Amino acid sequence: MSVANTRITPQVANSKMVDLNFTVHKNISPDLIEEIARALHSVGGFGSIEIYVQDYSVTQITVRNIRKTKHILAE
């Protein structure tokens, strides 16, 4: 069993740098880490990402952006 140490430093929209250190006990490809980082960057303000795993493989990454609103329907 190998240990994968992957450190990426993506730049986020507000110009702050975020340092991510992934230490895991299974092989995770740099391509998957990059895809997850891109998904996180695409969340604007409010939202989430979902990572789906089937038979020990990532099969889907879903990005949800939430637009906050305030409308009073009745007074």
Give the model's pLDDT for residue 18.
Answer: 59
Q: What is the pTM of this model?
A: 0.58
Q: Report which of 45, 24, 28 is spatially closest to residue 36, judged by C-alpha positions.
A: 28
The 10s digit of each residue's pLDDT in 22-66 is 565 567 888 999 999 999 999 988 999 999 999 889 999 999 999
